[in-house]
């Protein structure tokens, strides 16, 4: 079951903030966030576990609301290098080991100078 990402696209000026949401109708075990630039591999940003934790990395942070089955990615004071497509990937406990990820459709982020 594919998670739902919103918005589909965002255009920002450098220095502005953005929020990207990822929600699921199915109970989540964890949410992974990746950024992919055109023609490149997806790059890991962070993992959020069920339990409502919040993580941060430089000016990018994320939260996981277990009650809502939703994760949000926060981009603060955006930089040109933040441009790309952001994917959330979800995994459900298979009870047996390594799971692949089911990715949302992605949010295309454009940062303008």
Q: 102 - beta bridge partners?
A: 90
Residue 15 or 44 having the CB closest to other proteins = 44
How far apart are alpha carbons 82 and 96 in whole angstroms? 35
In the window 67-106, what residues touch other proteins (CB under 8 A)?
A: 87, 89, 91, 93-94, 96-106
55 binds other proteins (CB under 8 A): no
Which span (18-26, 40-48, 56-64, 75-83) binds other proteins, by CB under 8 A?
40-48
How far apart are alpha carbons 92 and 83 in whole angstroms? 29
66 binds other proteins (CB under 8 A): no
- Site for other proteins, rule CB under 8 A: 29-30, 32, 34, 40-44, 47, 49, 87, 89, 91, 93-94, 96-106
């Amino acid at each position: 079951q594919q998670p739902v990402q919103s918005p589909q696209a965002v255009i920002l000026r450098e220095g502005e903030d953005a929020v990207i949401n990822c929600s699921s109708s199915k109970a989540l075990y964890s949410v992974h966030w990746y950024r992919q630039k055109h023609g490149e591999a997806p790059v890991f940003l962070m993992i959020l576990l069920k339990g409502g934790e919040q993580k941060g990395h430089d000016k990018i942070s994320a939260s996981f609301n277990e009650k809502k089955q939703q994760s949000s990615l926060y981009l603060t004071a955006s930089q040109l290098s933040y441009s790309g497509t952001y994917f959330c990937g979800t995994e459900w406990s298979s009870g047996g080991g390594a799971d692949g990820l089911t990715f949302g459709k992605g949010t295309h982020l454009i940062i303008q100078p």
